[in-house]
């Protein structure tokens, strides 16, 4: 199964190549961040994590739980924010019966090796909490 089966997900890699070849960007952290912002990868740097989070939280994504948005904007622990956003993303993809990319699976495996607990049910719990308290600010 190739990367083309994931639709627009390969755009990050294409954009990274364009940045390097046509715009002369050679900063490896920038190129990595652009290349993996859709899928993630097994060993992401800090800039790549920030861009991944930004991609998943952009304003056009209306179904992001208010509590998660609040954590992203008010939190101060990049790794915690990254894991929570990843949990939501994986949970959402699996609830839609979509297959995770090899890169995302590698990222999950890497986090497990680091003993980071990924709770894929948190996104569903947050959605249920939001529906129950619709219209009220979630703290």
| Whole-angstrom distance, CA of residue 54 vs CA of residue 10 | 17
CA distance from start to end of the chain:
42
Contacts of 49 by beta carbon, 8 Å cutoff, 6+ apart: 78, 79, 82
Nearest Cα neighbor of 57 from 88, 99, 34, 31 is 88
Q: Quick one: fold of 3-132?
A: Hypothetical protein af1432 (1.10.3210)
Q: Are 72 and 81 in contact (CB under 8 A)?
A: yes
Q: What count of other Cβ atoms lies within 10 Å of the Cβ of residue 26?
A: 9
What percent of the chain is modeled with pLDDT above 90?
19
- What's the farthest any 2 CA atoms get from each other in the chain? 51
| Whole-angstrom distance, CA of residue 36 vs CA of residue 40 | 5
Query: Tens digits of per-residue pLDDT, 7-51?
Result: 555 678 888 989 999 999 999 999 999 998 888 887 899 999 999
pTM of this structure: 0.73
Query: Tens digits of per-residue pLDDT, 43-70?
Result: 899 999 999 999 888 878 778 888 888 8
Structure tokens belonging to residue 99 = 């297959």
């Amino acid at each position: 199964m190739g990367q083309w089966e994931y639709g627009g997900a390969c755009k990050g890699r294409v954009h990274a190549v364009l940045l390097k070849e046509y715009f002369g960007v050679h900063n490896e952290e920038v190129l990595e961040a652009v290349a993996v912002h859709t899928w993630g990868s097994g060993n992401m740097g800090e800039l790549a994590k920030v861009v991944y989070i930004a991609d998943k939280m952009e304003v056009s994504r209306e179904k992001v739980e208010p509590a998660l948005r609040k954590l992203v904007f008010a939190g101060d622990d990049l790794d915690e924010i990254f894991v929570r956003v990843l949990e939501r993303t994986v949970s959402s993809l699996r609830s839609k019966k979509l297959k995770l990319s090899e890169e995302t699976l590698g990222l999950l495996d890497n986090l497990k090796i680091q003993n980071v607990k990924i709770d894929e049910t948190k996104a569903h719990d947050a959605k249920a909490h939001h529906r129950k308290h619709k219209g009220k600010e979630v703290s």
